[in-house]
Amino acid sequence: MTMNNQQKSLLVTATKKIAPSWPLDKLIAVNPLWSLIDKPFDTVAAELSAIAGIKAHLPIETYVAWFKQGRIDQASLTKAAQHYAVDALPESLIEMLSKPTPTLTPWQNIADLADQERPATKMSWHDEITHQVSQFCADHYQQVSPTLRQMSSNDQTHLYPHWLTITTQDKGLSIVLDEPKLIHLFNALPNNTDQLFALAIEELALDDASLPYYAHALLLDINGWSSYLAYLHWQNPNDQEDHLMSLLAIKMAWELVIWRYLTSQENPQASAIKQAWEKQKQTIEQHIAKHKEALLSAKIWALALEYAEQKQLNTLLTSQSYPLTKQRPPVLQAVFCIDVRSEVIRRALEKQDDAIQTFGFAGFFGLPIEYKAKDSAFSRPQLPGLLSPSITVSECETNIEHAQKEQQQARWQRWGHSAPATFSMVESMGWWYAFKMFKQTLFSKRQTNPAARLAPNTQWNITQNGEPLTTQDKAKLAKGVLDSMGIKHYAETVLLVGHGSHTSNNLHAAGLECGACGGQSGEVNVKVLSRLLNDAEVRSCLHTMGIKIPQHTTFVAALHNTTTDQLTCFDHQTTPQQSHWLEQAMYGAQKERAKKLDASLLNVSDKQRHKAFIKRANDWSQVNPEWGLANNHAFIIAPRQQTRQLNLKGRSFLHDYDYQTDSDFGILERLLTAPMLVAHWINMQYNLSVTDHFKFGSGNKVLHNAVGGNIGVFEGNGGDLRIGLPMQSISDGKNWMHTPVRLAVYISAPKSAIADIVAKHETVRQLIDNDWLYLFCWQDQTIERFYQQEWLS
């Protein structure tokens, strides 16, 4: 028995609807619905609600409360209602939109239908399947201590046949589910995925209309592992095994086993399950339509919230004209990542002196690199997940003492952080480990991944395809960076400021690092770039290319600690004046952040507050050391001069851009096809972690256990692999710290140039025209939206 080509194509298409989720050590923000952007957001929301119970909006009660608080105004609500062709007077509109929405049941898989008829005294089919499949995947894919019967990672047993082998030997399933003869049915399953699919399609009577929805529903039912396997495919699309098809086969095998088991036993529940199954398959399109109708009020409220936020930001952006007077020559320049957390420290630094200039630039600083530790097989990406590294950087010399110390600490950290060792390590170390925990509690100090600790005064080898870059190559690389950076007149000191976080005992620590650096800090990038730009031969070559950097200008690698707002300069001694500016900027940023982190720190001295921030970052029991990128809502592509006088409250990504120096708009094209997409990924990860935390959030971080060292986390000791943000990253326990609104992108450039770029790139067009983000042209004192190839006032 075999599938036909159409059936195989429908299953493959279903697997492609799952977005990737990066592992813990390379954690970056991802739009969990990235693979569905070819459809309108509202269409996707309705379909996912219907087939998986996924929520893309907040409860109506939350929006109503925000309306009463003034966060949503009447005009924005009316405008949103009109967008959905709902025309009513304000009073009746509020009444209509405040009514509870009908509760609709999503698509039910065979296991779900069987659970409806199952005695409460027995283990749920659904829960046991999720637990069994998830635990097996953790065992199959974990890399810390492989338990598979294999000699190397290149000789792995494929997922589905390995699962079948283990499951046919697992007598415990029959005992746990209290179904004595269940285990025998697994022996009758084929060992080949295609044969299994063909069998299930025939016996479950799946036609071409219901098959793709069913397959997608099965994958979403174990979305955590589906997302991780999508990441494996993203990293290696030519892998011999299609991991997601194997996972789908496992889920479908369980469905087939339940179907056969209930029917073979002449179970009185079987008839009801069959009827419900047949009706569901025949009415899936009507089912989706009902969900679309039921979501109308939530869609109007969500849109009204976005309109209200955009109205406030539009008013702020057009409230004042920026100064055109000639400014003093810059006394200090600092180039920061566009990350929203940089907006606060940039304002605080600029406040110190009018002649201090800051710039916003993509956090990987335009370097398409991977970092490979010298004399080691270890390597990691230092660029956004959307891009692939083309250049490798490594240290020129190994500091033997430093390397040995870090290697020793890495072994301890690897043992202590692996899932099987979570409790065994404490037991093995006995009272000594208790002393260690007591010491860490009273005298905490910073804990970082050993792989992130670079030796001081590092010199760099830069290679491409195994060959060292020539001076000409380095100069071309540097020119591309400087052209995009947009510095017109160089100060004596130019800080290249990457960023990283400072946390202890945090499995999601990489998620607080620089997403543009592949979940790593930006330290490597700024150190490599500063070495390039300070190289006399590279500068000489740049001079012939038309870029004249003054001889007295020094580029300084620096790092912004987003948890404590400390600015650290590497391999460079700052002047007393510069040190004072950096210190005062830190104090100012800390005071602003204290409002959300700990209001009791507002009325203490700067030094006391700073000490408290350090203690908070070192505290191994601290569940929310910082709020990360929570509450992000806008991406502004414009000269800093246009936003310098504005308090954007740490909610906007800021990338410097001057269209007058971009003759062919090539720089703008790169910004719309890379940094904007990264900002969208971040925005949607936060949005969906709030609106559906069960499916797209990772739960309570206090209960997290690492899976396979770096694969991901379980909440507790089982269930699905959890993806997305922990609850402590988006809520203070009472209020959401992130407002779920789609990203609003503001561009200071000619409308014709923007439209031309959008027309060239299908992905960008889909994001705009399918309502995944908003795109605005901001010129002079006017803001116009670009939507469906038209400009709207």
Q: What is the pLDDT of residues 750-769, one digit of tens each?
A: 999 999 999 999 999 999 99
Asked if residue 238 and residue 120 are part of one domain, the reply reads yes
Helices (H), 206-322: 211-221, 223-235, 243-264, 268-282, 284-294, 296-317
What tens digit of pLDDT does each residue of 483-503 get?
999 999 999 999 999 999 988
Residue 87: count other Cβ atoms within 10 Å of its Cβ. 9
More confident residue, 449 or 674: 674
In a domain, 183, yes or no: yes
User: In this structure, are 163 and 200 located in the same domain?
Assistant: yes
Provide the mean pLDDT of the chain: 90
Q: What is the pLDDT of residue 426?
A: 47
339 is in an annotated binding site: yes
Shared domain check, 151 and 261: yes
Domain-located, residue 78: yes
Residue 403 lies inside a defined structural domain of this protein: no
Give yes or no: residues 176 and 267 share one domain. Answer: yes
Q: Are 507 and 701 in contact (CB under 8 A)?
A: yes
In a domain, 421, yes or no: no
Does 337 show up as a binding residue in the annotation? yes
Confidence of residue 327 (pLDDT cuts 50, 70, 90): confident
CA-based end-to-end distance of the chain: 59
Residue 698 token pair:
């990772």
- What was the pLDDT predicted at 145? 45
Average the pLDDT over 547-575 and give the result.
Answer: 95
**Amino acid (one-letter) located at 589:** A
93 with 195, same domain: the answer is no
Residue 328 burial class via C-beta count within 10 angstroms: exposed 0-12, middle 13-18, buried 19 and up: exposed
With a threshold of 0.95, does the pTM exceed it? no
The predicted-structure confidence for 226-276, as pLDDT tens digits, reads as follows: 999 999 999 999 988 999 999 999 999 999 999 999 888 677 788 899 999
- Confidence class of residue 286 from pLDDT cuts 50, 70 and 90? very high
pLDDT at 328: 86
Domain boundary (84, 105, 126) is at: 105
Residue span of the structural domain in which 98 resides: 54-105
Separation between Cα atoms, residue 414 and residue 426, nearest integer Å: 14
Alpha-carbon distance 228 to 211, whole Å? 23
Banded model confidence at residue 428, pLDDT cuts 50, 70, 90: low
147 and 161 part of one domain: yes
Q: What is the mean pLDDT of residues 142-157?
A: 52
Residues 171 and 84 in one domain: no
Q: Let me know if residue 62 belongs to a domain.
A: yes
Task: Say yes or no: 152 and 73 in one domain.
Answer: no
Of the two residues 485 and 445, the one the predictor is more confident about is: 485
Residue 378 located in a structural domain: no
3-state helix, strand, coil in the chain (%, to 5): 50, 10, 40
- For residues 10 and 132, state if they share a domain: yes
Q: What's residue 423's pLDDT?
A: 44
Flag whether pLDDT at 410 surpasses 50: no
Residue 152 has pLDDT above 50, yes or no: no
Q: Would you place residue 377 in the very low, low, confident or very high pLDDT band (cuts 50, 70, 90)?
A: confident
pLDDT at 436 exceeding the cut of 60:
no
Q: Is the pLDDT of residue 713 over 50?
A: yes
- Count the neighbouring beta carbons within 10 Å of the beta carbon of residue 183: 19
Domain boundary among 282, 309, 333: 282
What pLDDT does residue 620 have?
87
For residue 325, pLDDT beyond 60: no
* Rounded average pLDDT over 533-555: 96
> What are the tens digits of pLDDT across the range 647-697?
999 999 999 999 999 999 999 999 999 999 999 999 999 999 999 999 999
Co-location of 209 and 229 in the same domain: yes
Number of separate domains in the chain? 2
User: Taking the alpha carbons of 624, 629, 633, 639 in that order, is the dihedral positive or negative?
Assistant: positive
Give me the percent of the chain exceeding a pLDDT of 90: 79
Q: Is residue 677 part of a domain?
A: no
Q: Extract the tokens encoding 710.
A: 């770096």
2 or 733, which is more confident? 733
Asked if 549 contacts 478 with a C-beta cutoff of 8 angstroms, the reply is no
**Residue 720's closest CA among 690, 699, 689, 691?**
699
Q: Considering 64, 89, 105, which residue would you say is the last residue of a domain?
A: 105
SS3 assignment, position 783? strand
Residues 97 and 123 in one domain: no
The verdict on residue 29 lying in a domain is yes
Query: Residues 19, 81: one domain?
Result: no
